Structure 1
Amino acid sequence: MSAIKAVRQLKEDLLKQQAALPGDGRNEKILDILQRLEKQKIDLAVLTETLIGASVSKLKKHENAEIANTAKGLVKKWKGVATQAQAAASGGGGKAASKSDSNNSTSSGGSAKSAPSSAKLKRLSSAGSSELSADAEFVGLPPHRINICKKFHTIFLMSKNELSKELNEAAVGQLCISRAAEVDAAIDTWSKGMKPTYMEKVRSLVFNLKKNGPLREQVILGQVSGDRLTRMSSEELLSEEKAKERDETVKNLQDSRRLDWDTANEKKINEMCGIKGDLLKASLFTCGRCKSVKTTSTQKQTRSADEPMTVFVLCLNCNNRWKC
């Protein structure tokens, strides 16, 4: 098994344990996975392809001190690997650039003017490299699908700054491009080539991915595949805030249909109406003897059915009884 496949499998196992309920040796299993990751030979290519650093970095503040320390050590080690690889790459480029500059300086007197212009062209080409790679990724698709891919690419770039805090910025940029193409292909497969169905699903996902940052990051990191995203229900696509608002609305609607709603919400009603202290024990009737409002009342049908009920009142202060 290659290093990439092995690390991917360990990453899946780690995500399952993180999502599992506490207990049943969960911490021991997570620690075992981290120790197995320590034994793997991981280079920059493996880190970029699997994004294992993002999953392990979340464990740096774990409640278990041993897991937290192991995760910190792994992240520090992998950052060193990435730094060395980038330094080696930039060092090779620097040598080539210095060699070409020395050749240009000895060629003619006008080389001093040509060097800045070549450096400027190099900066311009590197600045537009992401757009060129995006166009190359989407080439061959129908025009309307190319536009949709670019729209998803723009949406995924909204999470680039946040993800770049823990991951290589260039790798995140490439992931945004590949995930945009993957989501577009999944929607096309799901809609079976029917353009109205395709566009309806696109509108739904574009709206929800703009609002739901955590879901957007999960798609970029591969925790939610394009196929899974396409088949998610409207409730699953909601952001955490919208989901809470929806649950509260449903709960209020269910409560309003209860026959005992006034009894169950008596405390809340009293607070809204400013009823406090002795007023909580007050009733609609005032005792004629002691003028107290602490009374209880019951109703009984003492006359014929077409007559109103008779109210019997008891004063809780002086035990006076009367009817009305």
Structure 2
Amino acid sequence: MSDATELKKLVKQLQAASSASDIVSILNVLKRDFQVNESILRESKAGLAVGKLRSHESKEVSNVAKDLVKKWKTEVEKAKQQPTRKLSVTTPTTTSSSSSKTARTAKSDGIKVSAGDDTRSKCAELIYDALACDSGAPSELILQRAKAVEVAVMNDIGSTSNAYKQKIRSLFVNLKDKNNPTLRESVVSGDLPADKLAKMSSSDMASEERKAADNKIKQENLFASLGAEEQQAETDAFQCGRCKQRKCRYRQAQTRSADEPMTTFVTCVNCGNRWKFS
């Protein structure tokens, strides 16, 4: 059952599935019954559909999707290394050593990106490379999205100035981040429109994990800076959630608008645990 038509049918069922159990069931069928190659994945768009599920809210769905993507990537790489699969002027040794390590690009896809002048074409090609690096989507779709992103940046900035080039570089870095597959998949699928992407900052484009880590650092810095402003009072009115002791230091500060309650910052003297409430 390695036919692209059969795979397309399952992809449609996968996209229509509403429950986590149905999604897992379809993913298991894909994992058990299908042996794929790059052309089948591109034609059926299965790689894109399954790749998006790696960030699914259900941990079971996410884990099965990750395993399936890993399996398919291995199969695609093995197929690329077979000398009978594709005639090439390069030697088999060169092909096998580079194909397993080199990300998919416009050059490897045989795509010539044209977007007006040389600067814009090069920038659109950078966006293509970022979107395609681990995608199973068709080249034509990725090219369409890359051009749309470049046009959106051009419309927003108005010229190929330094601001335009810096924005393209920022998009390239964030889209190609190996820890943020959801961002590029949402652009390729069309869930994230190009004009909206063009206006996003680096923090807006960051992965959920990166946002959570940044927010934690921000809160810790806020806690430390507020705590250093004045001497904290010692009390046994609060119980530490970590060590269950009641020896704590606390202080209060107005961190929001005046009509909002004050925020209380508490530090456990015994274990150093810190928390806040308002």
Q: Which TM-score applies when normalising by structure 1?
A: 0.43
Report which of the two structures shows the higher radius of gyration computed on alpha carbons. Answer: 1
RCO higher in structure (CA 8 A, sep ≥6): 2
TM-score calculated relative to the size of structure 2: 0.48
Identify, as 1 or 2, the structure richer in helix: 1
